[in-house]
């Protein structure tokens, strides 16, 4: 089975060097794996039977639903079962988890994320609405509601989080948790022992940045 690694547009904007580190690690187990930089909103032009390893919840959903002949799996599922990844130790820090909308139905993803956090010695304090019952972070309402109402949704979701530190696995959720007054902890940053940066976070500016990248890829 041919496999490719798709870091996703948002990670490539956020920290392309982390996408490179993920690929380098995957190549230790998968010799011929290639990087796939075509945005999931465009025809992937991949051979039938290809499996896409994704790091973006939106990519996970689109590769599952839109393109015949290919399959997808999250990086989280692969790392959760990996015996050689050098997991950092966060010494029992308490964090909540915000589950991304595109994977709301994907129990496999929710489970893998929590396995990774356990392997990093992070204590999870769950919100009332989590996993398949997770409330949207607010970002999915961009383009449907005015920006100020989108930000209100972000603030509302953030208040549901019991901990100040909130683990996210979607770059747009970083922005939402920041706007909501929480400290987002992006899962790829946690895996590689890095601090989570915020970058562009105002909804209109962030989505403009994303759209430019999508158009180019």
Band (31; pLDDT cuts 50, 70, 90): confident
Non-local CB neighbours of 165 within 8 Å, separated by 6+ positions: 93, 94, 95, 96, 182, 183, 185
Band (1; pLDDT cuts 50, 70, 90): confident
Q: What is the 3-state secondary structure (H, E, C) of 16-33?
A: HHHHHHHHHHHHHHCCCC
Model confidence pLDDT, tens digit, residues 38-53: 999 999 999 999 999 9
Regarding pTM above 0.85, the answer is yes
Model confidence pLDDT, tens digit, residues 113-138: 999 999 999 999 999 999 999 999 99
| The pLDDT of residue 43 | 95
The chain-wide mean pLDDT, for the chain, equals 96
């Amino acid at each position: 089975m041919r496999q490719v690694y798709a870091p996703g547009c948002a990670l490539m904007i956020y920290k392309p060097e982390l996408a490179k580190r993920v690929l380098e690690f995957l190549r230790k187990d998968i010799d011929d794996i290639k990087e796939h930089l075509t945005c999931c909103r465009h025809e992937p032009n991949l051979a039938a039977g290809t499996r896409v390893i994704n790091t973006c919840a939106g990519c996970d959903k689109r590769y599952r639903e839109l393109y015949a002949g290919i399959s997808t799996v999250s990086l989280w599922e692969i790392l959760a079962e990996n015996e050689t990844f050098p997991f950092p130790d966060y010494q029992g820090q308490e964090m909540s988890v915000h589950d991304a909308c595109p994977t709301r139905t994907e129990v496999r993803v929710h489970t893998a994320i929590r396995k990774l956090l356990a392997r990093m010695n992070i204590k999870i304090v769950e919100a009332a609405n989590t996993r398949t019952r997770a409330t949207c972070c607010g970002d999915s309402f961009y383009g449907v509601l005015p920006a100020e109402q989108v930000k209100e949704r972000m603030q509302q979701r953030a208040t549901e989080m019991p901990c100040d530190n909130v683990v996210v696995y979607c770059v747009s959720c970083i922005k939402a948790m920041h706007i909501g007054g929480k400290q987002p902890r992006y899962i790829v940053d946690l895996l590689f022992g890095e601090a989570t940066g915020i970058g562009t976070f105002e909804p209109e500016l962030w989505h403009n940045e994303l759209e430019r990248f999508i158009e180019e890829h």
